[in-house]
Amino acid sequence: MESSHTDRIIRRIVGSIEQACAARGQDVSEAMVLFAVQAVILDPRNDLTLGKFFTEEDLQNLIQLCIRKLLDTTNPSLSTMKMQVYFDTTYKTRDELLHEQHRVLEEKLAPVVRDITTSCPHVQEDVENTYHNILSYMLLSSDLGSPRDIEVVRETTAALQSVFPETEMPGFMSLSKKNKEQQLRHLAKLVAGIRLYNKECGKGGRTIDDWPTILNEAISSATQAIEERLHTCYTLAHQYTALLESMQEDPRRRMQLSDFKIKEALFNVRQYERSLCMILSDVITSAEEVEKLRMQFAEMMEQLKQTVHKFSVDTSEAHPFFVALADLWSHFQDEMLLLRFCTSMTDHLQQFVEIQSQLFPEEVLTSLLERVTVKTDEKRRRETMETRVNAADFQNQEWLFPDTTENLYDLPIQYHAFCAYTIGAKGYLVPGNPAIGILKHREKCYVFSSVEAAYSFAQDPDMFIQLIIEKAWEYAELVYLLGLHHDFDCLVPQAAYVDNQLRRPMPKRDSSTQTDTHLLPPTIVASYEWNEWELRRKAIKLANLRLKSTHSVQTDVRHMRRGNSTQVYLPKDNGTQTKHDNSSNVPRQQIFFKRVQRGSSPTTPIVKIDLTRAIDET
């Protein structure tokens, strides 16, 4: 109930401010409104603190102050906060931007992949449709020309048929869904690599952009544009710093320049400088990557040519080169995406410093700088390069110097390497010089623009740190510019109480973690014993053996003798046989009687026939 109530109050405040600004022709985002609410609450001059009770009158006062701040287009602070909100919500690192781009591409290809992997064609027409979908996937995923260009379609079709003819569709459809997706990605790289190779050989590829050449020209143009804007930014920052220093030295000049909002203008150009430096760093990184990719691509293409020109080429030898070419070419496309993003951000940031020419036209700024010495950041650094803090003057503080500390310039410096003393004592920004010495206080590092500033800050660091926080209360843009989020995290206006208090609820989210049972491979020690008594037994045994010795003797008979051996053939088993088995058989008698009838004789004679064989015949 409490959380929902505060959310309604937040939405009411934001909605009221947005409507009021829109009615006066000023379109502001929700993030900008929340930033303005934070800035108004942060400013002690508005008497709105988180520890007090907020009534309906206080909320109306808060809304009116925010509206007035958002409509004050002549104040550089508003432009600085808009710049900070835009940069914070838009800027992405290389990994974040590429991850987002790959996610968008996968979402675009998801319907085609789903149609391919879930189809089960049974007739020839369905097989042809699925093969056509695979061709569409090849065209959409490679980004090697427009999918509507007939020449691109013809080249892609020829490359696909050379490595995956339609006759192989039955084997493809028998795969699992996961294996189909892997096969599709592999085929896409193969087809893209073949088209790139054909382009290199002059056999097509007219519609394929020459990314290495385009990137080199685009990087050169982007670097030049950013450096020109940085030069203008540096010039303004040096001039504003010189004016602020003259105001510190001359009270009459302070009265003369008090209405020009020079501090706010300095914060604006320093924020613009920091944003441009981050973008320029990304462009330089991209240039290094492009050069590395160009060399790898040329080397891979040369190896592929040598492989293809052999008399007998196995597909298993050439296919990995085609896949590698496609991977390298996709990296070229990624670098082009990153470069376009950097160029777009550079162009959008320009609108947030246009107020500089309105507040300080060239003739006005020239007249203000009369009899004022303007020093560049580099000149200030050279003037203090030979001076340094004497660490012996501070017994209880730790100082770091270039000649005694490794990677000194890579340390995380507080306030983005601006002089801590100048911010707290004078309220404006001057770059520090690490060569003077870096003060390490409460595990945080601070740099200074001069030895005197370092000594003054080191006398009472906590006091100056509190002064810097108070400066951020007055100028809310310093929170982002100096990296003071950890000191003002509780002031982000994301919850409120009406008639009770305005405060931020603790953020909550579900999370889980898992620890591996065995981080290292198992090592079994056979001699390990966990039993204490077994260890004692082994110890006693070793102690007993320590007092023993092994002796050996040799007799004179065996002295200088060697052992001999001989081998004999053992007798073999023989056998003999003297007995002979034989047998005989008595012939069986075969006697037959035959009666012979003769005419009408009353008696019939009987004839005996003996067919028994003789004994000697058997």
Q: Provide the domain limits for residue 26.
A: 1-71
Domain boundary among 317, 335, 369: 369
381 in Cβ contact with 433 (< 8 Å): yes
197 in Cβ contact with 155 (< 8 Å): no
Residue 509, pLDDT above cutoff 80: no
175 and 32 in a common domain: no
In this structure, is residue 109 part of a structural domain?
no
Q: How many domains does the structure of the chain reveal?
A: 4
347 and 263 in a common domain: yes
263 and 348 in a common domain: yes
pLDDT for 236 equals 93
Inter-CA distances, 500 with 17, 249, 321, 355, Å: 22, 47, 69, 40
Highest mean predicted confidence (pLDDT) among 27-41, 298-312, 422-436: 422-436
At 616, phi and psi to the nearest 5?
A: -70, -10
The lowest-confidence range among 188-197, 362-371, 444-453, 606-615 is 606-615
Mean pLDDT of 490-516: 50
Per-residue H/E/C for 2-67:
HHHHHHHHHHHHHHHHHHHHHHCCCCCCHHHHHHHHHHHHHCHHHCCCCCCCCCHHHHHHHHHHHH
pLDDT for 500 equals 36
Mean pLDDT of 210-223: 93
Residue 605, pLDDT above cutoff 90: no
* Distance in angstroms (rounded) separating the CA atoms of residues 257 and 282: 38
Tell me: the pLDDT tens digits for 386-408? 889 998 888 888 999 988 888 88
In this structure, is residue 609 part of a structural domain?
no
334 and 398 in a common domain: no
At 559, phi and psi to the nearest 5?
A: -70, 135
Token pair 């390497």 is at which residue? Answer: 417
pLDDT for 222 equals 94
Residue 546, pLDDT above cutoff 70: no
The lowest-confidence range among 206-210, 328-332, 589-593 is 589-593
Mean pLDDT of 80-109: 91
Q: How confident is the model at residue 559 (pLDDT cuts 50, 70, 90)?
A: low
Q: How confident is the model at residue 423 (pLDDT cuts 50, 70, 90)?
A: very high
Quick check: helix, strand or coil at residue 418?
Answer: strand
617 or 335, which is more confident: 335
58 in Cβ contact with 496 (< 8 Å): no
pLDDT for 57 equals 79
Q: What is the reported pTM?
A: 0.73
412 and 305 in a common domain: no
Residue 582: CB atoms within 10 Å: 4
At 447, phi and psi to the nearest 5?
A: -115, 165
447 in Cβ contact with 399 (< 8 Å): no
444: enclosing H helix or E strand: strand 444-446
* Distance in angstroms (rounded) separating the CA atoms of residues 181 and 106: 12
pLDDT for 268 equals 94
Residue 139, pLDDT above cutoff 80: yes
Residue 516, pLDDT above cutoff 80: no
Report residue 576 as tokens: 């003999």
67 in Cβ contact with 74 (< 8 Å): no
The lowest-confidence range among 16-30, 122-136, 509-523 is 509-523
221 and 356 in a common domain: yes
Mean pLDDT of 211-234: 94
39 in Cβ contact with 72 (< 8 Å): no
Report residue 109 as tokens: 């290809």
Mean pLDDT of 581-587: 73
Q: How confident is the model at residue 561 (pLDDT cuts 50, 70, 90)?
A: low
Domain boundary among 14, 41, 71: 71
Q: What is the mean pLDDT of the chain?
A: 83
Residue 1, pLDDT above cutoff 90: no
At 527, phi and psi to the nearest 5?
A: -85, 0
Nearest to 348 by CA among 37, 91, 22, 44: 91
Residue 168, pLDDT above cutoff 70: yes
Residue 426: CB atoms within 10 Å: 18
Mean pLDDT of 247-264: 81
55 or 185, which is more confident: 185
pLDDT for 555 equals 67
Buried/exposed code over 77-91 (b: 16+ C-beta within 10 A; e: otherwise): bbbbbbbbbbbeeeb
In this structure, is residue 574 part of a structural domain?
no
Residue 497, pLDDT above cutoff 50: no
pLDDT for 29 equals 82
In this structure, is residue 455 part of a structural domain?
yes
Q: How confident is the model at residue 22 (pLDDT cuts 50, 70, 90)?
A: confident
In this structure, is residue 590 part of a structural domain?
no
Residue 524, pLDDT above cutoff 90: no
Residue 575, pLDDT above cutoff 80: no
pLDDT for 451 equals 93
pLDDT for 51 equals 53
223 and 184 in a common domain: no
Inter-CA distances, 484 with 85, 237, 465, 470, 479, Å: 15, 21, 11, 11, 5
Domain boundary among 306, 337, 369: 369
Q: How confident is the model at residue 127 (pLDDT cuts 50, 70, 90)?
A: confident
In this structure, is residue 593 part of a structural domain?
no
Q: Which residues, 6+ apart, have CB-to-CB distance to 420 below 8 Å?
A: 414, 432, 446, 447, 448, 457, 464, 465, 468
Residue 224, pLDDT above cutoff 80: yes
Residue 504, pLDDT above cutoff 70: no
439 in Cβ contact with 433 (< 8 Å): no
The lowest-confidence range among 142-151, 268-277, 427-436, 480-489 is 480-489
177 and 123 in a common domain: yes
362 and 387 in a common domain: no
298 and 188 in a common domain: no
216 and 262 in a common domain: yes
In this structure, is residue 80 part of a structural domain?
no
E-assigned strand segments in 279-329: none
Residue 612, pLDDT above cutoff 70: yes
Mean pLDDT of 195-213: 88
The lowest-confidence range among 1-5, 194-198, 459-463 is 1-5
Report residue 177 as tokens: 């869904």
In this structure, is residue 591 part of a structural domain?
no
pLDDT for 429 equals 93
Looking from the CA of 542 toward its CB, the CA atoms found within 13 Å total 6
Residue 312, pLDDT above cutoff 60: no
Token pair 């007035």 is at which residue? Answer: 68
Q: How confident is the model at residue 560 (pLDDT cuts 50, 70, 90)?
A: low
488 in Cβ contact with 472 (< 8 Å): yes
Mean pLDDT of 69-85: 88
pLDDT for 5 equals 59
* Distance in angstroms (rounded) separating the CA atoms of residues 326 and 333: 11
349 and 254 in a common domain: yes
Highest mean predicted confidence (pLDDT) among 4-18, 367-381, 576-590: 367-381
Highest mean predicted confidence (pLDDT) among 26-30, 282-286, 476-480, 556-560: 282-286
Highest mean predicted confidence (pLDDT) among 32-41, 472-481, 518-527, 550-559: 472-481
165 in Cβ contact with 315 (< 8 Å): no
27 in Cβ contact with 21 (< 8 Å): yes
